[in-house]
Structure 1
Amino acid sequence: MRPAGSVLVVDGANVVGARPDGWWKDRAGAAQRLHEQLLVADIEYDVVVLVLEGQAKGGVRAGRDAHVQTVHAARDGDATIVAEARRAAERGGRVVVVTADRALDARVHGVGATTLSPTWLISRL
């Protein structure tokens, strides 16, 4: 396996939920706006993995756009985030997960990732 470089895994629901901008009225639209912002954001990661779940999946197709890889969670968004963080860590990259979820924070630390808050990411969008 070749090294993954630096990977930022984004808990889409958690980041969208950190901004009280009416996202709950249009979860798919909120996910699409976040995706578009990640495409043009000036952040220092080789790959950004955006994990979406539920209705938010309707806003962005799964797949890669430039440096942003969108992943649709089959059921549990947290389990998908942990799996993506583990996969990147196993490839030898620096892995950071953006979430404010304390239980998820503990789980991703267990697979070798660190965490940053949604406000950190929002300030760079």
Structure 2
Amino acid sequence: MSVPPPLPADRNPGDAWVVASDGARYWGAFGAAGLLAIDDRRGVLLQHRAQWSHHGGTWGIPGGALHADEGPLAGALRESSEEAGVPPGAIAPRALHVSDREVWTYTTVMADVIAEFDPVAADAESIALAWVPTDEVSGLALHPGFAAAWPALREALGVRPVIVVDVANVVGAVPDGWWQDRAGAALRHLERLANLAASPVPAGALSLPLHGWFPRIVAVIEGDARDIAAPTALDVRRAQGSGDDTLAAVASELAGSGHQVTVVTSDRGLRARVEADASVVGARWLLDQFG
């Protein structure tokens, strides 16, 4: 079909064109977002766009206009569900890439597939949906916006950041009476880390490319805090002996498996032990990320 279907009378206010001073048109009054789903076995999920759509017949990613007050992550997940049948909970966000046209932005959400699924063309916006090996993407007729972003996205596929937190050290950096209840103070800190895991960390804060990252967070706890019930969103390592020994071993293990490791500690001795495997930032860096 070469003619677009009529817009419903009750369409969202975001479903509208933005026109730049040079006459270029961009879909999405509040910007737009799309999902680049990454499957280690099958490649990346691409959408062959309907002929009637903007740059119809090209390949890109499922996505579309954001709703008012909707963030890029929520918008990309909603649009990919509507257009490609991406199930809730099937992906874990990894990074954000933002194309800024001054009057309009498009955010690509890179996300890892954690539960395999078969895409379904759930509306009229797709000719086809396909898992495409990453080495074959550039050989397709790509949507111009996706084509411009793909080199940076392709390079970032190999980046897997991890933040390893020396919980006792960070807790001790805030004089809030933590010494009266070490386990309780550690639990409060883990809850803040769990909230941080759900939000992007600016790429500059991690010295990484693109614009934002959802790094894996590994929290090392020890002593009185070792047996607390931690939030399930975190990878918690419970030191049976020295917390420093455990943290150094974790950093070495993760670096050896290809991760880009950032260790959070203000302990100078520990810093010296892990610098061969990781970048090191102080407790204040992490506290600043909490806002």
How far 1:4 moved relative to its partner? 8.0
Normalised to the residue count of structure 1, the TM-score between the two structures is 0.88
How far 1:5 moved relative to its partner? 1.2
Task: Specify the alignment match of 1:14 in structure 2.
Answer: 169
Alignment of 1:109-120 (within 5 A): 109-110=275-276, 112-120=277-285
Task: Specify the alignment match of 1:72 in structure 2.
Answer: 238
Task: Specify the alignment match of 2:288 in structure 1.
Answer: 123
Task: Specify the alignment match of 2:179 in structure 1.
Answer: 24
1:33 corresponds to 2:188: yes
How far 1:59 moved relative to its partner? 2.8
1:49 corresponds to 2:204: no
**After superposition, what is the alpha-carbon deviation per residue over 1:83-118, rounded to whole angstroms, capped at 9, x for unaligned?**
1100110011100100011110010013x2110110
Q: Structure 1's 88 and 4: CA in aligned 2 closer, same or farther, altered over 3 A?
A: farther
Bigger radius of gyration among the two: 2
Q: Which amino acid aligns with 2:250?
A: E
Tell me the distance in 2 between the aligned counterparts of 1:65 and 1:9.
16
Q: Which amino acid aligns with 2:269?
A: A
4+ long deviations beyond 6 Å: none
Tell me the distance in 2 between the aligned counterparts of 1:9 and 1:113.
9
Tell me the distance in 2 between the aligned counterparts of 1:124 and 1:72.
24
- Unpaired runs of at least 5, structure 1: none
Q: Which amino acid aligns with 1:97?
A: V
How far 1:56 moved relative to its partner? 1.4
Task: Specify the alignment match of 2:254 in structure 1.
Answer: 88
Tell me the distance in 2 between the aligned counterparts of 1:4 and 1:53.
29
Q: Structure 1's 22 and 94: CA in aligned 2 closer, same or farther, altered over 3 A?
A: same
Aligned 8 A contact 1:60 1:70 in 2: no
Tell me the distance in 1 between the aligned counterparts of 2:229 and 2:244.
18
**After superposition, what is the alpha-carbon deviation per residue over 1:56-99, rounded to whole angstroms, capped at 9, x for unaligned?**
123334xx722x21111011000000011001100111001000
Normalized per residue, the structure richer in helix is 1
Tell me the distance in 2 between the aligned counterparts of 1:54 and 1:18.
17
Identity %: 43
Q: Which amino acid aligns with 2:184?
A: G
Q: Which amino acid aligns with 2:249?
A: A
Q: Which amino acid aligns with 2:227?
A: G
Q: Structure 1's 10 and 71: CA in aligned 2 closer, same or farther, altered over 3 A?
A: same
Tell me the distance in 1 between the aligned counterparts of 2:289 and 2:262.
15
How far 1:18 moved relative to its partner? 0.1
Structure 2 counterpart SS, 1:50 = strand
Higher RCO (CA < 8 A, seq sep 6+)? 1
Q: Structure 1's 93 and 39: CA in aligned 2 closer, same or farther, altered over 3 A?
A: same
Structure 2 counterpart SS, 1:58 = coil
Structure 1 counterpart SS, 2:266 = coil
Normalised to the residue count of structure 2, the TM-score between the two structures is 0.39
